[in-house]
Amino acid sequence: MPTKRILGFAAITAIVFMWSGWIVTTRFGAQSALTIYDITLLRFGVSSIFVLPVALYYRPWRSLGLKKSLITSQLAGIPYVLAVCYAFKLAPAAHGGIFMNGSLPAITLFLGWIWFKEHPNRVQLLGGLLITIGASITLFGSSDVYGQYVWVGDLLFLLSGLFFALYMVVSKLWLLTPTQILFCSSIVNCALFLPVWYFFLPSGFSEASFLDIALQTVYQGMIATLIGLLLVAFAVRQIGAPTAAAFMSGVPSIAAILGFLLLGEAVNIWVWVSIFLLTPGIILVSIWSQDKYKRKALPN
């Protein structure tokens, strides 16, 4: 096997654990003395420090415009992160993997059907059905374990998944470059959020431990936004999008396992049944979607 292909598999494996780790880390942060606004600030503020020199050199705003900058930044920005952080106050890490990551392919498939008139085939519909059934089982089978308001957290996870799916749609529609994405996801969000946080929002920095702050700084500001994006791009180039998508189907189950091992969160039978249905559903939707685009790209 060529070295670059081996590195591609290593990169996508790292991404799966990084994404799963981000779920657990955000859940941990939401239960700490830090407020959800502090976590949001760390995500955008730290990443902006690294992105600013690149943005000043390439000036991506010149070809993007104000309207596209605001829409792109907010779909994967302030509302998205706040929804995720608040959801983790109510629901465990396993639910984040199921509703946020696991349901994303089905939401994207539906938006593609509505927005781009891309009619799903039978295999994709089967995958979407498995995802829907799996998520529904978790939604209706966990209140006795995690509390009566866990469903609110689950719905917020779905809302955040919708935000991110819309972000993926506009990225495709507007053919956004990596530099434009980095500029919108970090600098624009930081410029909008920092003054609001400073003057109006509660903060827990003075009560939080150094470990809490350092963990969220590294994971939110660097791993989730910068390193993850670069590794995904590298992996897709080396092993292809369908294979990368198949690997990403492991995020819900790994997040559940990490939540159990690191946070001591119970994982009931309904969660495992959901993951059992979700995983093949994600693979079916993701791989057949990529296969369709590949066939479209072939010359006649």
CA dist 162 and 108 (Å) reads 8
CA dist 187 and 8 (Å) reads 29
Mean pLDDT of successive 10-residue stretches along the chain, which has 300 residues: 83 90 94 96 94 93 90 91 94 90 82 77 86 84 66 91 86 84 92 96 95 94 83 79 74 91 87 89 74 42
The pLDDT assigned to 239 comes to 80
The pLDDT assigned to 288 comes to 65
Burial zone of 75 (CB within 10 Å; 0-12 exposed, 13-18 middle, 19+ buried): buried
The pLDDT assigned to 117 comes to 74
Residue 176: strand, helix, or coil:
coil
Nearest to residue 127, comparing CAs of 12, 258, 292? 292
Q: Yes or no: say if 101 and 245 are a contact pair by the CB < 8 Å rule.
A: no
